[in-house]
Amino acid sequence: MRVARWQRLLGGRGDEPVREAATVRPALWPRATVGLAALFGIAMLALALGSADVPLDATVRILASHLPWVEWDTDLPASWKSIIWQVRLPRVLLAGVVGGTLAMCGATYQGVFRNPLAEPYLIGVATGAALGSTIVLVSDVPSSWHGFSVLPLAAFAGAISSVLVVYAVARVGNTVPTTTLILAGVAVASLTTAMTSYLMLQNTTNTIAVFAVILGGFNTATWAKMVWALPYVIPATLVILAHGRVLNVLNLDEIQARALGVDVDRTKLLLLGVSSLAAAAAVSVSGTIGFVGLIVPHAIRLVWGPDNRHLLPLSIILGAAFLIGADLLARTLDQPAEIPVGIITAVCGVPFFLFLLRRAKVAYY
Amino acid sequence: MATEISQRAASDSDTVAPLVEARDVSVVYGSEGNAVRALSGFTGELRAGEIVGLVGPNGSGKTTLVRAITGGVPLVSGQLRVAGDDVSALSARELALRVAVVPQTPMLPEAFRALDCVLMGRTPHLSLLQSEGETDVEIARQAMIATDVWSFADRMIGELSGGERQRVVIARALAQQSPILLLDEPTAHLDIGHQSDVLEMARTLREREGKAVLAIVHDLTIAAQYCDRLIMLDRGEIVREGHPSHVIQEDVLARVYGTQVTVFAHPKTGLPVVAPSLEDR
């Protein structure tokens, strides 16, 4: 019987019946459809609800009327039209772009560092980016150049400096252990946050503005901010999505990944670079919003498994839905005041973070 | 490309250059001052269709040699060619098409299915945007049947025992379809049944595909039964090499391992079997 077993190699079949395993990967589209439906539903709610509620059907009609040859909103008040189109839509879209970006970057950092707790905020990337853009804002450097905002670039400089410091400090041999990563990340995040706060307080008497950067928010969202962020976010997203399968291989240790033909150093550098660029662009339009990059990818892993080819696109979709929802809560829970959205994500995120820390060894990563 | 190399290797193994060719290879760990010479002037070769066993005490340079062949450690001197090309000139992907490695204690992502892990062996055959196709799945399936892990292809790595994981990693190396197979203690976590399965499989691969296999084996008896040739290392240098009965001799083992053993011939094969001397009893 033993002999029969190895003779099955290369087409020969032995006498033991072999249970057929499911050889096909589950398809992405049913999962993506569920995600997109959630995203669409939450986005419509976020457009309709607010200090002035607009009925859902009117919201749909106002949006549809921006399509060519559609005129469904002639009988609706002009104030509704401008609330939906000028105020809420850019805000919802920006929250979606930032949420999708942060979740995607979180999933990417977790893969590259092979560490379940890596996340733009916790490893200092987001706070470094905030420091970078704050330096531009409070100094005399022009913040745009030929209509091209340099804020995301300044944020990127801050982000990449932070990630390099954290990586260099936290690295032990070929791995980045959870404890050292989180310790180094928290230290760098505290330092950069302190510097950002100091710079802001030196240059403004308005502490609200300081909190807006440190806790993040979308109350100043405009169409222009969307346009700033997209030239950085879109190329980074394409690069990251293209690396889904390779990121799976990086889940092995570096020696194995190299033996399987992955140029480990170059791939890591590329992925860290583009994800820091995307995270920095997100931070430069929204301030530092924590825990999105932690909660969303892990929730997806718990439900749908760790394959990065699913994890990355689903993180984008559900990260967008999550942050649009969080922003909706931020502006409706305590009307007419607004809670910074970072407080909402922290309230949801910290318990989840503690839960993950508690069971970091469990096999779903 | 890999099949091309192995076909070339299989068809005229005696005339073409060896698949692995080391000339005076030295590897040094650590910086100046406390440098350790892990491999010192190693010269040897591995030809298509042979199984070479690498034996020797702990720290004798066996794993270092395997790492050097996979481009994992820089050489301080000497030349190392893999399928005709210098190791340092090959990209990670080109090297992975030629050499598959089964590491000693590989870290595996626990939430991936066994099949997903084996499919990772197809990495060097796929371009960046390519996903594994039906052919890749079929190759993985054959590899998993060969290593007796197909029946739990759907289970998560985290649910598997050490020996089952070891066989998943061996299946991954088979799915890589490279002409050279490096095994670092392939039988360490395996029961005696699966130990002989793995080594019989190595022999099958050698015969059917002309693969060249280099295996680090601690168990000298097992090494002697399954390998065509043994290389014994001690402190980074070759002590003795050749046919198992030439290498596995009581005086050699006493010198290298510092312990007295009894070597006798296997009743069926005539190959050396090593047992403790137990002189005190």
pLDDT in tens, B124-142: 999 988 888 889 999 999 9
A-chain residue closest to B208, CA distance: A10
Inter-chain CB proximity A309 and B131 less than 8 Å: yes
Q: What's the DSSP call for residue B37?
A: E
- Which residue in chain A has the smallest CA separation from B181? A259
Check residue A27 and give its pLDDT: 85
Give how far Cα B29 sits from Cα of B39, B61, B64, B72, Å.
9, 11, 10, 12
Chain A residues whose CB is inside 8 A of the B157 CB are: 363
Nearest-angstrom CA–CA distance, A45 and B224: 73
Give the pLDDT confidence score for residue A358 in this predicted structure: 72
Chain B residues whose beta carbon lies within 8 Å of the beta carbon of residue A309 = 131
Within 8 A by CB and 6+ apart from A17, the residues are none
Range(s) of the domain holding residue A153: 55-358
Weakest mean pLDDT among A344-358, B101-115, B165-179: A344-358
Task: Please report, for residues A39, A239, A334, B197, B242, the alpha-carbon distance to residue B186 in angstroms, rounded to integers and kept in the order given.
Answer: 49, 37, 63, 11, 21
Residue B263 in this model has a pLDDT that exceeds 90: yes
Chain A residues near residue B141 by CB distance under 8 angstroms: 23
Residue A175: pLDDT band by 50, 70, 90 thresholds?
low
Asked if A307 has any chain B CB less than 8 Å from its own CB, the reply is yes
Residue A2: band (very low, low, confident or very high) from pLDDT cuts 50, 70, 90: very low
Question: Is residue A204 assigned to a domain?
Answer: yes
Task: Give the pairing type, strands B272-276 and B212-216.
Answer: unpaired
What CATH number does residue A125 fall under?
Answer: 1.10.3470.10
Candidate CATH numbers 3.40.50.300, 3.30.2320.30, 3.90.1150.10, 1.10.3720.10; the one for domain B2-276: 3.40.50.300
Instruction: Output A336 or A105, whichever has higher pLDDT.
Output: A105
B200-240 pLDDT tens trace: 888 888 888 889 999 999 899 999 999 999 999 999 999 99
CA separation (Å) from A201 to A131, A140, A194, A197, A320? Answer: 13, 16, 11, 6, 31
- What is the value of pTM for the model shown? 0.86
For the segment B238-247, what is each residue's pLDDT rounded down to a tens digit?
A: 999 999 999 9
Q: Do A309 and B150 touch (CB under 8 A)?
A: no
Q: Residue A182 and residue A113: Cα distance in Å, rounded?
A: 12
Cβ pair B103:A9 closer than 8 A = no
The rounded distance, in Å, linking the Cα atoms of B175 and B157 is 17
The tokens describing A181, both together, are 């990563």
Q: Specify whether the CB–CB gap between A355 and A349 falls below 8 A.
A: no
Q: What pLDDT is recorded for position A143?
A: 65
| A226 domain-assigned | yes
Mutate which: A6, A112, A114, vs B, most B CBs within 10 A:
A6
Domain boundaries, chain B: 2-276
**What string of DSSP letters covers B65-117?**
HHHHHTT-S--SEEEEEETTEEGGGS-HHHHHHHEEEE-SS----TTSBHHHH
3-state secondary structure at position B242: strand
Contacts of A333 (CB under 8 A, 6+ apart): A339
Answer with the residue of higher pLDDT: A353 or B241: B241
Size of chain B in residues: 281
Q: Give the full edge-to-edge strand order of the sheet including B99-102.
A: B99-102, B180-184, B212-216, B51-55, B229-234, B237-242
Output the average pLDDT for chain B: 87
Asked if A6 lies within 8 A of B201 by C-beta distance, the reply is yes
Provide mean pLDDT across the span B32-37. Answer: 78
Q: What is the pLDDT of residue A67?
A: 84
Which pLDDT score is estimated for A5?
Answer: 46
Is residue A196 in some structural domain?
yes
Q: A36 in a domain, yes or no?
A: no
Provide the pLDDT confidence category of residue A23 given band limits of 50, 70 and 90: low
Is the confidence at residue B3, as pLDDT, over 90?
no
- Smallest CA-to-CA distance from A62 within A50, A77, A72, A52 is with A72
ipTM: 0.86
* Closest of A157, A152, A154, A180 to residue A167, by C-alpha: A180
Cβ-nearest to B141 among A23, A251, A365: A23
Name the pLDDT band for A52 (thresholds 50, 70, 90): confident
CA of B153 to nearest chain A CA: how many angstroms apart? Answer: 6
Residues of chain B with Cβ-Cβ distance to A249 below 8 Å are 120, 123
- Give the mean model confidence (pLDDT) for residues A301-315: 92
Measured over all CA atoms, what is the biggest interatomic distance in chain B, rounded to whole angstroms? 66
What's the pLDDT at A17?
44
Count of domains for chain A: 1
